[in-house]
Chain A
Amino acid sequence: MPLQVSVFAENKPGKIKRITGVLAEKGINIRAVTISESGDYGIVKLLLDQPEAGCEALQKAGIAATLKEIIAVLMKDTPGGLHEVAAALSESGINVEDAYGFIVKSSESAVFVFQVGNPRMAEKMLAGRGFSMLGDKELYLL
């Protein structure tokens, strides 16, 4: 199952730079990034080509970082593409905790990346309904 790095950051200028600096130095590539903030602080979520190495490097630099399992489901890059995934999740009563999506130019498809309480169950459900998920290697090297 793919992993994503969550990083705690104060909501102040220069805080993202500190994180990206560590990753750049280690030659770790960022595939996607989202930030959710709550007042004074927020969480930076990073999809990295080497999540374990990236997380370790950040921790070594004294940054609060942790790995989280995610689901990356492939969908059609057409109107209604995300709707199909959302409908499947909704019917199964699965709550999406945190998500983002992006398109993959080469394949005319798109990827919906999200966190859920029970990733294994969600993965099984989606696979059962014919969705294909990206494994860690596939996702990191998109």
Chain B
Amino acid sequence: MSTQTPSIEIEDYKHGFSDPDRSVFKTRKGLDEDVVRAISDLKGEPEWMKTFRLRALKTFYKKSMPNWGADLSNVNFDDIYYYAKPEGEQQRNWDDVPDDIKKTFDRIGVPEAERKFLAGVGAQYDSEVVYHNIRADLEQQGVIFCDPETAVREHPDLVREYFGTVIPFGDNKLAALNSAVWSGGSFVYVPKGVEVDIPLQAYFRINLESFGQFERTLIIADEGSFVHYIEGCTAPVYATDSLHSAVVEIIAKPGARVRYSTIQNWSGDIYNLVTKRAIAYEDATVEWVDGNIGSKRTMKYPSIYLMGEGAHGEVLSIAFSGKGQEQDTGGKVVHLADNTTSVITSKSISKGGGIASYRGLVKVEKGVRNVKSRVVCDALILDDQSQSNTYPYMEIDSDDVSVEHEARVSQISEDQLFYLMSRGMSEEEASAMIVNGFLDPLVKQLPMEYAVELNRLIELEMEGSVG
């Protein structure tokens, strides 16, 4: 079998177009107290939020970059625009969104998606959310879905109670950075017992070059409620790198269930360094479905703290690492209460010299009884230049546990290829089909439209991968 160097070119990235810079306000490059104050003033924030930002900035200076994981040596914090406000105000009516931006999201397919299958949509362009809408019936039931700036204004009590409690700004350098310069994102509150039957979606778009997008998402699912939140990300292709560093906090109150799905398809010049963490109380369930296809470097390990008895956590992680890419992804679960269970499933594919690393943690705190956890990592390496790493950490501080982990790294089996090719498929089609089959158990977890999109993205990435 001849394995030729795969030739996924950057042109294949269909979201690579860019629009002219029409920002109405942009901070200068680099970061200092003035920049943070300017962002806060522009948003007309209350003093407590400004103080929060400034304290976070101090922490950002003090903390060092992680000395593990993906190679971040080229991230230059002084060469980034930290805030850019696009033209126009936030709209609830799609027609009122400025034309350029509307065209962008039309091309990505956001309004179409909303019409078809979403309960609410948010669209963020660079630093600000340009569009936010939610189905009227949900709003009547008390569901809040807005950008965090609006939440700070209209629901300050909720924000102050939960903001930064799951991920304090001192958590890591990038969380501190986000806390200092955050802009945009989503704020979701689902009242007791309300089930949001179809997903809420947020769409993140970076348009500028050398830009940093720092959205902030906070989801509070009150007792017995359910919500599924989906985020998608794209950016144009530029010569210089941009930074996306989000913070996502989820609080699942007793009996609540929150599912958070990500299809990350940033262009190949984005550093994607994201902190995502959820807290699950009694009998609550939190599920992260995390698909990482794009970006230059991704470091992201969605985590779940199981704080209440009977809580359950699941992380499903898909990573596709092609030429020039490094996906350092995984998941963390910390068992802090009795009778808690967790499952982490990771599937990664590396090709064309890409590096896919699984990095995960299962931790069981002292004295916690009856814990079950299972971690399964599968990796496919499609050619001899690509790399796959697995770094699972299991820290068990209790004697009443069952923690299992297994990992496999393999190539596409020649038997499978031979079988499919004997049925008349080309090698390329056969490989793509095997890869799709490999990811199938995860793709099934996504809403159909997203599953279709993910399959299509993988097919695109697989094109020309065998010669």
On whether the two chains bind one another, the answer is no
